[in-house]
Amino acid sequence: MSSDSGRLNAQDIPELGSKRSGRLVLEAQGLHRNYGPVVAVGDLDLSMSEGEFLTIVGPNGAGKSTLLSMLSGAMRPTAGSVSVCGDKLDFGRYEWRHRIGMLSHQGFLYDRLTVEENLYFYGKLFGVTDLEDRVASRLQRVGLLERAQFEVRKLSHGMRQRASLARALLHDPDVVLLDEPYTGLDPAAAVVLRDVLDELKDGRRTVVMVTHNLREGLEMATRIAIQVSGRFAWEGALQGAGWEDFESHYHRVVEGRV
């Protein structure tokens, strides 16, 4: 990388695959989703091994949230397939859902249930056995144990986000998908989230995070992808480059100058 140009050069972008190792956990082949004439995600391929943390960045409307929805099984692709631990997602079956934890804008929480009731509901849905201990430990980890008996509708946005994170991790999934997890968090809550994300980098879990927070996203990632117009316009690793350098590179990619 040239320090005076502030740009990532070709030699700073490694060939992905040359250093990949470990069990293949998450794979998408020819993933495509369109809404009438509008293509949200176009023929996208992705493969991730156990322990990898992929951060996806890109402009609004690039199809990032749609991609996560298809990877989670929440949205059917128009074409293509998603596999988790070698098994293709079958929308007619539910056994694979315990392998995936998803934090999205919707939150998937019931407003008129308490935080604790929501977690018990999802715990039973996923067949969690040590449910009482698991609920308490997850709420403790996200700093909501004292709010366990609050109805979700009475929580602030940041607290709802933390409750959603506890729900997403309740069943100890192999794959964790995070859609803009920092949105609406105050500084204290952002620290809690960062600590939880650090813990997810345990070598066992595979994580995909979509974020507009370049600095946080890059510090977490083992791999980075820039998504533009439904496709990965660039994918690689920073190899020691700072986030300011990557920010310059990001804008060049989005503007089509790379």
State how far the Cα of 32 lies from the Cα of 230, in Å rounded to an integer: 9
How many residues are present in the chain? Answer: 258
Element (H, E) at 221: none
Q: What is the model's pLDDT at position 209? A: 97
Residues of the chain with pLDDT under 70: 1-21, 238-241, 258
With the C-alpha atoms ordered 226, 230, 233, 239, is the resulting torsion angle positive or negative? Answer: positive
Is 167 contained in some domain?
yes
pLDDT at 21: 59
User: Would residue 4 count as lying in a domain?
Assistant: no
Give 47: exposed, middle or buried? Use CB within 10 Å, 0-12, 13-18, 19+.
middle
Domain tally for the chain?
1
Instruction: Please state whether beta strands 100-103 and 206-210 pair in parallel, antiparallel, or not at all (unpaired).
Output: unpaired
- Helix/strand/coil for 94: coil
Q: Is residue 2 part of a domain?
A: no
Residue 107 located in a structural domain = yes
Cα 162 to Cα 48, 53, 54, 120, 130, distances in angstroms: 26, 20, 21, 16, 21
CA 229 to chain centre: 19
Identify the residue whose tokens are 């999205």.
104
In a domain, 1, yes or no: no
Q: How far apart are CA 131 and CA 146, in angstroms?
A: 18
Residue for token digits 């039973």? 124
* pTM of the complete model: 0.88
Specify if 105 maps to a domain. Answer: yes
Residue 53 inside a domain? The answer is yes
Distance CA 26, CA 161 (A): 25
- Rounded Cα distance, 226 and 247, in Å: 11
What are 148-171's pLDDT values in tens digits?
999 999 999 889 999 999 999 999
Q: Which residues contact 84 (CB under 8 A, 6 or more apart)?
A: 25, 26, 96, 99, 100, 174, 175
C-alpha span between 179 and 82 (Å, rounded): 18
Q: Report how far residue 56's alpha carbon sits from residue 221's, in angstroms, rounded to the nearest whole number.
A: 9
pLDDT (0 to 100) of residue 19: 47
Residue 108 identity (one-letter amino acid): F
> Where in the sequence is the domain holding 136, given as residue range(s)?
10-254
CATH number at residue 105: 3.40.50.300
User: In the prediction, which pLDDT does 202 show?
Assistant: 87
> Is residue 234 one of the residues assigned to a domain?
yes
Contact (CB, 8 A) for 225 and 63 = no
List, for residues 59-69, the tens digit of each pLDDT value: 999 999 999 99
